[in-house]
């Protein structure tokens, strides 16, 4: 029972962080979470340590536990680094993917497609994250995986403007993203390294401009003096 509660706490915190139900910098209350999930402090702190190791939260000595923050440097580094890491991971996935991993990727894609069809924003965010995390597992690189995990967390959080926008253009982009996922599976299965890298950059460009709106939603004024 305790193990099930730990698993549920771990899964719930991940989902809430990815979907911004828990905002960056939010303090996590150990007492409340222990009571809510029916577990003692020791297994709860095991979950915290695991999430901290994966980049979801920060444990600060004598200050508490907080959802990983997002600041100007974090987001600048994200936009500079994401396409490089994603492309490297995709190339290695095409080299190393095993049949059972490809089957798993198809299952995740089915869940993502269902979320798109039902217009479930939280599920789209969650399953999109799972899709790219599974590609990371295929790459099987101990140096790239920690960077990928951290990028995917902020990708989900910064990408809220992409998934939550309600207009025809964004609906079309989301359907295009789903179609690109199918192409990812085909290219990885075909061991097409050049093709999957090109698709990765295309996929990144599809949402990049809308993610930038999260950082600066309104254009900066040219002048404070409108008569100038």
Confidence of residue 164 (pLDDT cuts 50, 70, 90): confident
Identify the residue with better confidence: 62 or 139: 139
Confidence of residue 216 (pLDDT cuts 50, 70, 90): low
User: Could you give the 3-state DSSP secondary structure of residue 66?
Assistant: strand
Confidence at residue 222, expressed as pLDDT on a 0 to 100 scale = 45
CB 189 within 8 A of CB 97: yes
Q: Domain 72-215's class?
A: mainly alpha
Question: Which range among 58-62, 81-85, 139-143 shows the weakest confidence by mean pLDDT?
Answer: 58-62
Confidence of residue 213 (pLDDT cuts 50, 70, 90): low
CB 86 within 8 A of CB 204: yes
The DSSP-derived string for 26-62 is PEE-HHHHHHHHT--HHHHHHHHHHHHHHTSEEEETT
Q: Structural domain boundaries of the chain?
A: 2-67, 72-215
Q: Which residues, in sequence order, are bridge partners of residue 67?
A: 57
The tens digit of pLDDT for each residue in 15-56 reads 999 999 999 999 999 999 999 999 999 999 999 999 999 999
CB 41 within 8 A of CB 34: yes
CA pair distance 28, 58, nearest whole angstrom? 10
CA 58, distance to chain mean position in Å, is 17
CB 173 within 8 A of CB 207: yes
CA pair distance 174, 187, nearest whole angstrom? 20
- Could you tell me the pTM of the whole model? 0.85
Architecture of domain 2-67: Orthogonal Bundle (1.10)
């Amino acid at each position: 029972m305790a193990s099930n509660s730990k698993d549920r706490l771990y899964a719930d915190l991940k989902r809430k962080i990815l979907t911004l139900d828990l905002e960056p910098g939010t303090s996590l209350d150990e007492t409340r979470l222990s009571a809510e999930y029916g577990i003692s402090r020791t297994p709860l702190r095991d979950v915290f340590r695991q999430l901290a190791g994966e980049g979801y939260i920060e444990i600060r000595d004598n200050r508490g536990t907080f959802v990983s923050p997002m600041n100007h440097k974090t987001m600048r580094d994200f936009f500079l680094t994401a396409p490089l890491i994603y492309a490297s991971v995709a190339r290695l996935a095409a080299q190393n993917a095993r049949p059972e991993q490809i089957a798993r990727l198809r299952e995740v894609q089915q869940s993502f497609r269902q979320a798109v069809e039902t217009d479930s924003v939280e599920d789209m965010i969650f399953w999109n994250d799972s899709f790219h995390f599974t590609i990371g597992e295929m790459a099987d690189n101990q140096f790239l995986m920690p960077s990928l995990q951290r990028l995917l967390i902020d990708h989900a959080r910064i990408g809220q403007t992409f998934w939550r926008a309600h207009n025809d253009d964004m609906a079309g982009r989301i359907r295009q993203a789903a179609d690109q996922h199918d192409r990812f599976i085909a290219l990885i299965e075909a061991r097409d390294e050049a093709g999957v890298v090109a698709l990765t950059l295309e996929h990144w460009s599809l949402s990049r401009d809308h993610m930038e709106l999260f950082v600066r939603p309104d254009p900066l004024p040219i002048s404070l003096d409108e008569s100038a």
